[in-house]
Structure 1
Amino acid sequence: MNTSQTITAQHPDPMSKQGSSTTHTRYVAMTEPVLNDLEVKLISAAKQGLELDCRAVKLTKPNGTPDPSRVIRGDVVQGLLTGKYGADLHPHGIRVRYARVVGSCNPKKPDPAFEYNSLVFPVGVKFSDCWIDHPIVAHDTRMPWLHLDNCRIPYFHADRLRVDGSLYLRCLVSEDGNDLGAVRLLGAHIGRNLELDRAKLHNAAGPAFHAEGLQVDRALRFRAADLKSKCDTGAIQLVNAHVRGDLWLDGTHVDNESGPALNAEGLHVGGSLLLCSGFTATAKSNELATVHLMSVSVGSRLDFSEGRDCTGHLWDVPRGQERAYLPPIAAKIENQKKNEHRNHLVLDLGCASTNDLRLPMQTVCTRSRPPWRLRKRCQPKSKIIVVGLKYAMLSRESDHTHWPHWLRDHTDRFDAEPYQNLAKTLRDSGRTGDARRLLIKLENARFKHSRARWWPPTFVWHLAKWCFVGHGYRPGKALLGLLLVFIATWWLLVQAQHSDAIYRPATRVEGLTNTPSSTPTTTITVSTPTAAASATPAPVTISPPPTSTATSSNPSPATTTPNSATDQCGGTEVARLAADISLPLINTNARLRCDFRPGDASWYARGSLGLQVLGWFFATLFIVGVTGVMRKD
């Protein structure tokens, strides 16, 4: 609106003594904008607590200059929030639907952005299904709540933003971002939820979502979103962010052409971190992993699985149709660029911690067997980092049977710590046998990566420990070997008995001697009572039966030699002899009743000697395994 203002000034006329007056007219352009009908209705609705619905406005991007009577200027919104049109705004806030928010109506001088820096909004702002022509910049701003649902915007930057309630960016479309990001919330603090369900953030010059140091007091939702970027530091950047509730990334597709898809190093999640139900991450990163979760702390569940059957409500999706956006498919992570080790690094969980880990096999690799191979192989050869990963339990979706395959074939270098952590988790859950089998595989992997694996003594000792005692974790195998040695010894002695290689030795009886003198006599005095008390007893002489006429000058023990009918050993005596030979530290004195013939050099005697050595070998392995000396080594 142009108004004229007349200013009259007195000027002395040098040609006249009385002087003369000169009148000057000046035109002033008022800076107060003229409100159109839609903006007047907006001010009235904001004061009454009503929602302004502009369904007649088309959301398709028009060609040429927009009609001023059909749009809302950003200056009017800023004037409402700063009290320019009165401070009597309703607590329900400014709510607009199906509108187009523009800056200057002059196409030759477009506004660079809607700037709301360092403002304190008295009420919340809600734009639904709106087209916002210019970016929104709100650094160091504080507001009760902000909703930008189903809106199109070039980008949204709000560093150190303070929102007392929730920040909704659901179904937000941003395709004209810059090098700072499509949505940038560095150091922001959200009092309740931050939701970007089904958002579409495409940025060809920087990250799609940059929220380093973000704090969310409840949940952060990225469900069924679509994010594409070209940034070396990550499409989604949540470095050192803190989410007190759950972090939902289920059904989200993230693609980065020059860096990781998700960079969340140092992230702290009080609830669950859900990268399930069709989560897809594709990157071209040669330094960081596609999903970089180093030093992440998750209070409840870290889930890469198919997700739960009950997915919960999804924004702007009818009830019962959530599975169309959240399919029951495990997360898929790919890296199309090799690192310095010529490997595709897809997942980094180094030094991360969680209570429940759900990591199915198809998340990292899909094993297939080509027709020309007998063994399944992974294509492509992706790598993971799990050194320092701590978890309390493994769910059924994260079957531990494929973990040895991961730790053996999908890591850049060998480290025993992941094996030990998994074994501890299995023991705590009562699966001691699985833990022992895993530790046996650990020792095999340790030997595979050792430098002295091809030295013959080392190789033989490793093979013996693995086959006969399970590296000290299965000493029962040595006991079984000892039993087999006993059975083999018994069978050998039975065959030797049939071949007359063993016999029953002569019986030696001590104490029986032969004397050279005549037959000895023994005199026994027997007292017979008589009438006279002083009578003397008469001695009686008893002679023993005559003995053999063989004489000897020195007494010697008698020897009894059995005949050929009683020379064979009995079955019990053979078993006792087998125990004496094969079982160390056991002595039943069976050799006094049954033994090999003196001077016998048959293969039975030599075989028994070899079996005795085997018995000592298995007994030693059993003792070393039971006492744990081998495990300490």
Structure 2
Amino acid sequence: MTAPRVTDLSDFERRVVEAAREGDLLGAEQIEVADLAETDDPDHLLRAEVLRDLLLGRHGDLDPRGVVLARVRITGALILDGATAMAGLMLLNCVFDQPVLARQATLPHLYLIGGLVPSLQASRVRIEGDLHLSDGVRITGGTPEGAIRLIGARIGGSLLCRDAEITNPDGLALEASSADLGSGLYLHRGTLISGSSADGALHLNGARIGGPLECQSVKIANDRGPAIEADTLTVGRSMLIRDTELTGTGEIGAVRLQGAQIGGQLEFSATTRITSPDNRLLSLSDAKATTVFMPDGLVCPDGSTSAECSRPELVWLDGFTYAAIDPAFGWRRWLHLLRRHTEYYDASGYQKLAAVERTAGHDGNARAILIAQQDDLRRRSPDALGGPMSRLFHWIWGVLAGYGYRARRTAAALLLALVAAGALGLWAGATETRPGHHAAERVATGTSCSPVELIGLGLDRGLPIAPTGLRSRCDLDTASAAGQVFTAAIWGVQVAVWGLATLALAGYTNLVRKTA
């Protein structure tokens, strides 16, 4: 049954009704917000049920500009659950002594500018225009549900928090999961969002933002979980985090954007800081953005690009896709994050970074990234390579062939093997086995071979194919112990030449490419 309209209006309440009909601002005399919260002056008091009647049109038609009040204390609970307001509401430095309840309500717009609100419970609310919380408004909460609760809300305009203080010592600060924000989410200029919840201080899981998401000069903190939890968030344009302090904790980072879809760039400015007592900073697992802008010190304050780092900060980049990274940050810094600031080996991060560099025409960078991937695989996931012998061969393959990405290195190693074969021939010709005889000598006469013949002998025995026939004139004396040693050594060179030749051929013809 619908509650009857309140008829016993005070003089001040009648003035409120008349001002709303005319579209005028009704402002009580100057008073500080702290004093307003305690005053019993009837010229500042408006009962919540009278305001509800006014918004529902029970006092006649209202001006399209809506109800505009300043420095008013609203007593009792403003209950708009399921209601459809005839006009929007703008409150300037007003105070509520009980929560505002607007669950499944419909409003043209809602502006809370300055003042104090115990909490705003507005799940599945529909606001045709904007929801603005600005100019020093303080919204507090004392329950786990959140100081502001906008689950499934539909806001046709933007959600703006500017110089707002949204706090909840017992749970979420701003809960907007599955909300639809048509024009954007703007957290600007001195806004503080502070909560104490495992689900984040700012909770945006599954939310859809038609415009940008901007955090500019704000602080978001949570002592029990992430500062921002925004898994599967969809942002139609860019997500810009500038001059912002984000403090949180949790197993998957102080800022969680897992599976988020960002239509424009993802930018963290140089003056943005993410901190966590357990050094777990940022998760972008399975997220997507067009361009990534990230300052040097956001994750690794040392600014390192090397394969070594003692900084403990962690990020999650597995499955994160992007079209480009900030040139000022550079692919080497991103590679450093993959190698030293992720919790476990993941191939997808390396593959994506290599693909971005290859698309940009930087094939040499792409090869360096893929080589680093294989090094990281052996370092952090050796069991994936098999047993000790497989790991040894993997290491040798990396040293000699760059895992198939450095064919020139293989060719150089092949050249060194051939030089070693020639050197062994010379050495054998200089090694005396008995008076007048050497480990390598002329076959017919047993006399010394010339230096050219000895080098040719080493190459002839070292090369696995195309013998020159030189050994019919000059060869190793395999009857002697020294000759047998040199024979075995050259067999080893021959095996190395076979292997290196195979690797070189495979590298040049792209037959060997490790991508897993």
CA contact (8 A) 2:238 2:266 kept: yes
Aligned to 1:92: 65
Aligned to 2:321: 390
**2:226 maps to 1:260:** yes
- CA deviations over 1:503-557 (Å, ceiling 9, x no partner): 9999xxxxxxxxxxxxxxxxxxxxxxxxxxxxxxxxxxxxxxxxxxxxxxxxxxx
Aligned to 1:43: 17
Deviation at 1:478, TM superposition (A): 1.0
**2:408 maps to 1:476:** yes
Aligned to 1:591: 470
Aligned to 2:165: 200
TM-score, scaled relative to structure 1: 0.69
- CA deviations over 1:59-106 (Å, ceiling 9, x no partner): 23358542002344434433332333321x222222233x12322xxx
The amino acid of 1:223's aligned partner reads: H
Within a 5 Å distance, the mapping from 1:99-498 to structure 2 comes to 99-103=71-75, 111=76, 113-171=77-135, 172-224=137-189, 225-274=191-240, 276-285=241-250, 287-303=251-267, 305-306=268-269, 328-334=270-276, 336=277, 345-360=280-295, 362-367=297-302, 376-378=309-311, 381-448=312-379, 449-451=381-383, 457-489=389-421
Compared with structure 1, are the counterparts of its residues 401 and 55 closer, same or farther at alpha carbon in structure 2 (3 Å cutoff)? farther
CA contact (8 A) 1:356 1:395 kept: yes
Compared with structure 1, are the counterparts of its residues 495 and 117 closer, same or farther at alpha carbon in structure 2 (3 Å cutoff)? closer
The amino acid of 2:148's aligned partner reads: V
- Distance in 2, matches of 1:598 and 1:63, equals 105
Compared with structure 1, are the counterparts of its residues 408 and 596 closer, same or farther at alpha carbon in structure 2 (3 Å cutoff)? same
CA contact (8 A) 1:503 1:569 kept: no
The amino acid of 1:596's aligned partner reads: C
Compared with structure 1, are the counterparts of its residues 405 and 92 closer, same or farther at alpha carbon in structure 2 (3 Å cutoff)? same
- CA deviations over 1:305-333 (Å, ceiling 9, x no partner): 21xxxxxxxxxxxxxxxxxxxxx413313
Aligned to 2:32: 58
CA contact (8 A) 1:360 1:399 kept: no
Aligned to 1:320: none
Question: How many aligned residue pairs are there?
Answer: 494
Deviation at 1:269, TM superposition (A): 1.1
Compared with structure 1, are the counterparts of its residues 368 and 384 closer, same or farther at alpha carbon in structure 2 (3 Å cutoff)? closer
- Distance in 1, matches of 2:24 and 2:36, equals 28
How large is the Cα RMSD of the aligned pairs?
A: 3.6
Instruction: Specify the SS of the correspondent of 1:389.
Output: coil
- Distance in 1, matches of 2:103 and 2:475, equals 103
The amino acid of 2:217's aligned partner reads: G
- Distance in 1, matches of 2:474 and 2:253, equals 71
Compared with structure 1, are the counterparts of its residues 629 and 44 closer, same or farther at alpha carbon in structure 2 (3 Å cutoff)? same
Deviation at 1:416, TM superposition (A): 2.2
CA contact (8 A) 2:274 2:281 kept: no
Compared with structure 1, are the counterparts of its residues 578 and 197 closer, same or farther at alpha carbon in structure 2 (3 Å cutoff)? farther
Compared with structure 1, are the counterparts of its residues 259 and 609 closer, same or farther at alpha carbon in structure 2 (3 Å cutoff)? closer
- Distance in 2, matches of 1:459 and 1:358, equals 37
Task: State percent identity of aligned pairs.
Answer: 27
Compared with structure 1, are the counterparts of its residues 267 and 493 closer, same or farther at alpha carbon in structure 2 (3 Å cutoff)? same
TM-score, scaled relative to structure 2: 0.83
Compared with structure 1, are the counterparts of its residues 201 and 621 closer, same or farther at alpha carbon in structure 2 (3 Å cutoff)? same
Task: Pick the structure with more helix per residue.
Answer: 2
**2:46 maps to 1:80:** no
Instruction: Specify the SS of the correspondent of 2:43.
Output: helix
- Distance in 2, matches of 1:253 and 1:619, equals 60
Larger radius of gyration: 1
Instruction: Specify the SS of the correspondent of 1:61.
Output: helix
CA contact (8 A) 1:253 1:281 kept: yes
